[in-house]
């Protein structure tokens, strides 16, 4: 007899968020940097150096930011679990009633709610209270190192794409080709992320492309102004 295994979009939320955020930031920040520097009339070599520096700095920043942020979340989750573990040790009867009340509020008959609560607590009291009382599950558990590596890696991959476009583009068309190619990549990324996450592809592609375009326009204007002044 085969076992039916269901896969849910929520199973992907941890790595998907970090991966999409990293790749999106890599494309937007590096493409914007390249466009801004190119708009200032800078030589191709300097444009590539600036973009490469942005890639390295951005990847490290993403890794550090994700690690600190998700570590803080993990610390909070651990503190909640430690407190719940102690409460179970100090007054198990109260915790049983607390769990029963949760099920009653969800519409379960009082007698059945107590029976279910007893059975679940006998199986794994801490995991049951973590899930039902605190909303903590294995799927949504904070994983700082995973988030940091995913963000840094996907940022570097995303950032490399505008650099490749800048490298292969004719020097007089660097700005246009990097901007256009990066917007296309952003649209593809946004659509893919939406599809994997179960959302509407057009909405996912549209919003990330819009913000990427705004960022590139802003840096191009700044580059053009200061390039003229210089």
- Across the range 85-114, mean pLDDT stands at 89
State the SS3 of 78-129. Answer: HHHHHHHHHHHHHCHHHHHHHHHHHHHHCCCCHHHHHHHHHHHHHHHHHHHH
User: Hey, what are 157's tokens?
Assistant: 């991959």
97 closest CA partner among 84, 82, 73, 114: 114
Tell whether 173 is covered by a domain.
yes
Predicted confidence band of residue 218 (pLDDT cuts 50, 70, 90): very high
The answer to whether 151 touches 63, Cβ cutoff 8 Å, is yes
CB-based contact 51:34 (threshold 8 Å): yes
C-alpha angle 35-19-207 in degrees, rounded to nearest 5:
55
pLDDT at 15: 55
Domain region containing 73: 11-83+144-229
Q: HSE (CB half, 13 Å, CA atoms) of 76? A: 12
pLDDT digits (tens, 9 = 90+) for 199-217: 788 888 898 899 999 999 9
Decide if 104 is inside a domain. Answer: no
pLDDT at 104 over 50: yes
pLDDT score of 219 more than 90: yes
**215 within domain boundaries:** yes
For residue 162, which of 184, 182, 140, 187 has the smallest C-alpha distance?
182
Structure tokens at 17: 């968020």
105 lies in a domain? no
Query: For residues 40 and 227, is the Cβ–Cβ distance under 8 A?
Result: yes
In a domain, 46, yes or no: yes
> Is residue 71 in a domain?
yes
User: Number of folded domains in the chain?
Assistant: 1
Determine the 3-state secondary structure of 26 from DSSP: helix
Choose among 23, 27, 50: nearest CA to 223: 50
**Count of beta carbons in the 10 Å neighbourhood of residue 82:** 10
Nearest in space to 137 (alpha carbons), one of 11, 223, 26: 11
Residue 60: band (very low, low, confident or very high) from pLDDT cuts 50, 70, 90: very high
Find the distance separating the first CA and the last CA of the chain, reported in whole Å: 75
Please report which confidence band the pLDDT of residue 227 belongs to, taking 50, 70 and 90 as the band edges: confident
Separation of alpha carbons 131 and 137, rounded Å:
6
Lowest mean pLDDT among 60-74, 125-139, 185-199, 205-219: 125-139
- Residue 97 covered by a domain: no
32 band by pLDDT with thresholds 50, 70 and 90 = very high
């Amino acid at each position: 007899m085969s076992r039916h295994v269901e896969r849910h979009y929520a199973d992907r939320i941890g790595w998907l968020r970090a991966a999409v955020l990293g790749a999106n930031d890599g494309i937007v920040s590096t493409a914007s940097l390249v466009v801004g520097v190119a708009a200032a009339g800078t030589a191709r070599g300097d444009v590539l150096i600036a973009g490469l520096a942005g890639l390295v700095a951005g990847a490290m920043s993403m890794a550090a930011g994700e690690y600190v942020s998700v570590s803080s979340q993990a610390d909070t989750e651990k503190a909640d679990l430690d407190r719940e573990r102690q409460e179970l040790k100090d007054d198990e009867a109260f915790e049983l009633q607390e769990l029963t009340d949760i099920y009653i509020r969800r519409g379960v008959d009082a007698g059945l709610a107590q029976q279910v609560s007893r059975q679940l607590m006998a199986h794994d009291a801490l995991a049951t209270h973590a899930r039902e009382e605190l909303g903590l599950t294995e799927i949504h558990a904070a994983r700082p190192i995973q988030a940091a590596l995913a963000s840094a890696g996907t940022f570097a991959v995303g950032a490399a794409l505008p650099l490749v476009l800048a490298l292969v583009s004719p020097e007089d068309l660097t700005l246009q080709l990097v901007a256009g190619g990066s917007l296309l990549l952003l649209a593809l990324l946004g659509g893919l992320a939406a599809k994997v996450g179960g959302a509407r592809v057009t909405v996912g592609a549209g919003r990330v492309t819009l913000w990427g375009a705004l960022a590139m326009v802003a840096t191009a204007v700044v580059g053009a102004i200061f390039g003229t002044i210089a």
